[in-house]
């Protein structure tokens, strides 16, 4: 048997407090594992994502990202959390590039606040009637705001504006209905949000797992896609937003989004809370 070190970090923490934000397990040397073992380790930890650091000829490191059920090409909090661990391992400094299946992702830090540069977004219209979408979310048709879109700034997700923070808090997905509204890769994920001020947003994100829908404490990929939605809607730039997520699952999280003429930036605070090793 051999020992395989990992670190536990929280990403997008609220006020830089431990035990907030989205938890992540990062294995320091993913080259030790087969694809099947990586998937089984992600299932063992049962976090929303587990990442594995591997060598790269194109970047500081290659990162593979697994949910308990499948591998993802890109996700925001795993990218930022893995960058934090790469710096701790002296693989890079405050500015580095990570290789993901979706492409090369530049990441930089100011202290323990990490920010990624998202891929250039694309979008397409939602071909589902408003009434059907409202039924899938268990809200009223009037709660849905202008122009829900499929947006992809790394991973395609459904970005749904709602008319109020109250409507965001009332969302309670109907799994059977929402599962029929799928992205280009056959996944059914919904990000709902409402502006609560000129520069503040309340959001929630739902994703499928074994026949049910779970709620994510903080979702960097969807925040990048919110930036893409703002681009599609021709919101004035530069745009800076502070986003609150996770309160409904008792994991308050804070995310920062900046959209300028050249790029979409997603940031948040990262804290390491533990280390260990698996023996296999």
Instruction: Pinpoint the alpha helices (H) of the chain.
Output: 35-45, 76-88, 130-137, 165-170, 175-178, 220-232
> First-to-last CA distance in the chain?
5
Q: Residue 280 in 3-state DSSP?
A: coil
Q: What is the secondary structure of 65-121 as a DSSP string? A: EE-SS-EES--HHHHHHHHHHHHHTTS--SEEEEEETTEEEEEEEETTEEEEEPPPP
Helix (H) or strand (E) holding 62, with range, is strand 61-66
Mark whether 49 is an active-site residue: yes
| Catalytically annotated residue among 49, 135, 156, 272 | 49
- Per the DSSP assignment, residues forming a β-bridge with 22 are 11
Active site residues: 49
């Amino acid at each position: 048997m051999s020992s395989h070190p990992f670190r536990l970090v929280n990403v997008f923490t609220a006020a830089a407090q431990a035990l907030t934000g989205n938890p992540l397990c990062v294995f320091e040397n993913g080259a030790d594992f087969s694809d099947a073992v990586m998937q089984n380790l992600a299932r063992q930890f049962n976090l929303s994502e587990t990442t594995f650091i591997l060598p790269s000829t194109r970047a500081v490191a290659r990162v593979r990202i697994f949910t308990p059920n499948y591998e993802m090409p890109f996700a925001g909090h795993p990218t930022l959390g893995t960058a934090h661990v790469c710096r701790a391992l002296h693989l890079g400094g405050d500015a580095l590039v990570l290789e993901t299946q979706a492409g090369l992702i530049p990441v930089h830090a100011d202290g323990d606040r990490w920010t990624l540069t998202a891929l250039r977004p694309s979008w397409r219209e939602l071909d589902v009637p408003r009434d059907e979408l409202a039924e899938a979310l268990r809200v009223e048709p009037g709660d849905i705001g202008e122009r829900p879109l499929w947006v992809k700034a790394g991973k395609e997700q459904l970005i749904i504006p709602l008319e109020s923070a109250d409507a965001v808090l009332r969302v309670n997905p109907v799994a059977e209905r929402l599962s029929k509204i799928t992205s280009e890769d056959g996944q059914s994920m919904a990000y709902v949000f409402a502006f609560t001020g000129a520069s503040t947003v309340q959001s929630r994100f739902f994703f499928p797992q074994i026949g049910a829908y779970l709620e994510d404490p903080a979702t960097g990929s969807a925040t990048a896609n919110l930036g893409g939605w703002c681009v599609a809607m021709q919101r004035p730039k530069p745009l800076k937003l502070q986003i609150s997520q996770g309160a409904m699952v008792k994991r308050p999280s804070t995310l920062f989004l900046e959209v300028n003429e050249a790029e979409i930036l997603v940031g948040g605070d990262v804290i390491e809370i533990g280390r260990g090793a698996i023996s296999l």
